[in-house]
Amino acid sequence: MATISSAGIGSGLQVESIITGLMSVEKQPLSKLQAQQTSYQSKISALGTLKSSLAALQTAAKALTPATLQSPTAAFSAYKASIADSTIATATASSSAVAGTYSLEVTALATNQRMALGKTYGATDAVLDFGTDSTRTLTLTKGSTPVDITLDSSQNTLAGVRDAINNAAAGVNATIVTDTNGKQNLLLTATSGGTANAVSISGTATFIDPAAPGTPIAASSAFTQTQAATDAAVKMQGVSIATSGNTITDAIDGVTLELTKTGSTTLTIARDNTDLKSKLDAFVTAYNNLNSSIKSLGAYNASTKTGAALNGDSSLRSIQSQVRSALTSVPASLEGSSVRTLSDLGIAFQSDGSLKMDAAKFEKAASSGFAAVATAIGAYGSALKTTTTNLLDSSGAIASRTDGLNSSVKNMAKRIEAFNARLTAIEKTYRAQFTALDTSMSSMSTTSSYLSQQLSLLSNMSNY
């Protein structure tokens, strides 16, 4: 009897085709499980997209929320300062400024103190007399703040002293000038003008007198003042104001002036809503992006009868409802206020659920009652910040839904693994059964052939 090397060869039975057909039927539940797993994974990915959009809205809401113990007016107030003649001065304003127009008269600019070393030296000449000491100290004092500069023999040239002074940042800049004979002198210039920025010199350092080397000169008398420090003379609305150099920070609350020349001009302080408007624009954009994501993730195509990843998902509807509620429910703190709704701020819902900013309406509201506008912005910013923070929390709607889906994906993976193991066993059984059938049919075919041969022989013998 011939040996069967492959199922179906001996009998002619299409074993592989039969097993393939049977297994395709057995695998149908597996395809459903895999499709369900893919659906869960798509939902997880969609929730990630939703989370990203919510996080962007949360960031925008935080920018509209005053800090703890900060009033909305203080949080959102901003001012701009302008000088009619910008060649006379420049001005900047902080949030504590007050809108108004002021006359400004600068009759004198502050001058910087200047000093020069009384002696001149060659570029490589020793300039300090250390006596028996290894170091000496040069002390520069601005106001009541002394700065000690320690000098040693490695710095015993004018260049060395210059560099030590400049590195100390003691309120003066040191430079070297060289005369026509190649001799050098050390000049000191106060870094800022005004009497408050004048510097005095002292310390244990002594300078060599080229004309009398044995009689060194003390630091306190080695320099000669070539220009005294003077203060600026300024009048604001005809009133003389205190000055400290050419930078004035306390003439008007929240305003800093930088004087550049003498003359008369006008200073104007006006409210500047540019930054606040930008924050509101960012909020509108962030909300519209979230709204677009929600519509896309929950969409249903009637033509193809297919839904997006989160179509019909309760968590999507809940998130949409909570966010919209934060923007449409009037905060309790605004009851009785002249500005109560987003619409009062110039922000209105459109027919597609998006928001639109009316810049002109916002500016009108802000100019007529900024405190009420700021309070409303802070109230809605706080409400939306709370809502988005709760939704994004580790125990919030997105995290809970994602955790549930991840758990389902893991369980589905176990079911798929178990089903694959079952399919392997089923296929093994089918192969064993059909191999046995094939062997049996092959044996029967051989027996049939043998009997046919014997009957044929008997028939032939009967003819003799």
In percent, how much of the chain has pLDDT > 90? 65
Strands in 121-198 per DSSP E: 135-142, 145-152, 172-178, 184-190
Residue 84, pLDDT score: 97
User: Mean pLDDT lowest for which of 183-197, 340-354, 441-455?
Assistant: 441-455
Across the chain, mean pLDDT equals 88
The reported pTM is 0.69
63: its two tokens = 């920018």
If you average pLDDT over residues 441-459, what whole number do you get?
Answer: 62
Residue 430, pLDDT score: 75
Given a cut of 80, is residue 458 above it in pLDDT?
Answer: no
Residue 452 pLDDT level (bands cut at 50, 70, 90):
low
CA–CA dist 1, 166 (Å, integer): 109
User: Mean pLDDT lowest for which of 226-235, 386-395, 448-457?
Assistant: 448-457
Could you tell me which residues are beta bridge partners of residue 270? 80
- 203: alpha, beta or left? (left if phi > 0; alpha if psi -120 to 50): left
CA–CA dist 387, 329 (Å, integer): 12
pLDDT tens digits along 231-289 = 999 999 999 988 878 999 878 889 999 999 999 999 999 999 999 999 999 999 999 99
pLDDT tens digits along 49-77 = 999 999 999 999 999 999 999 999 999 99
- DSSP SS3 for 146: strand
CA–CA dist 440, 433 (Å, integer): 11
If you average pLDDT over residues 202-218, what whole number do you get?
Answer: 95
Residue 312 pLDDT level (bands cut at 50, 70, 90):
confident
Residue 165, pLDDT score: 97
Given a cut of 90, is residue 464 above it in pLDDT?
Answer: no
If you average pLDDT over residues 459-464, what whole number do you get?
Answer: 60
Across the beta sheet with 239-241, what order do the strands follow? 79-83, 263-271, 100-108, 233-236, 239-241
User: Of 112, 226, 219, which is closest to residue 172 (Cα–Cα)?
Assistant: 112
pLDDT tens digits along 117-138 = 999 999 999 999 999 999 999 9
Residue 230, pLDDT score: 93
DSSP code per residue over 353-400: S-EEE-HHHHHHHHHH-HHHHHHHHHHHHHHHHHHHHHHHSTTSHHHH
Residue 33, pLDDT score: 77
The CATH number of 114-227 is 2.60.40
- DSSP SS3 for 255: strand
Residue 2, pLDDT score: 41
CA–CA dist 313, 45 (Å, integer): 14
Residue 401, pLDDT score: 86
Residue 5, pLDDT score: 43
User: Of 324, 342, 129, which is closest to residue 218 (Cα–Cα)?
Assistant: 129
User: Mean pLDDT lowest for which of 147-156, 362-371, 404-413?
Assistant: 404-413
Q: Per-domain residue ranges for the chain?
A: 11-78+273-300+307-439, 79-110+232-271, 114-227
Residue 4, pLDDT score: 39
User: Of 200, 78, 90, 219, which is closest to residue 147 (Cα–Cα)?
Assistant: 200
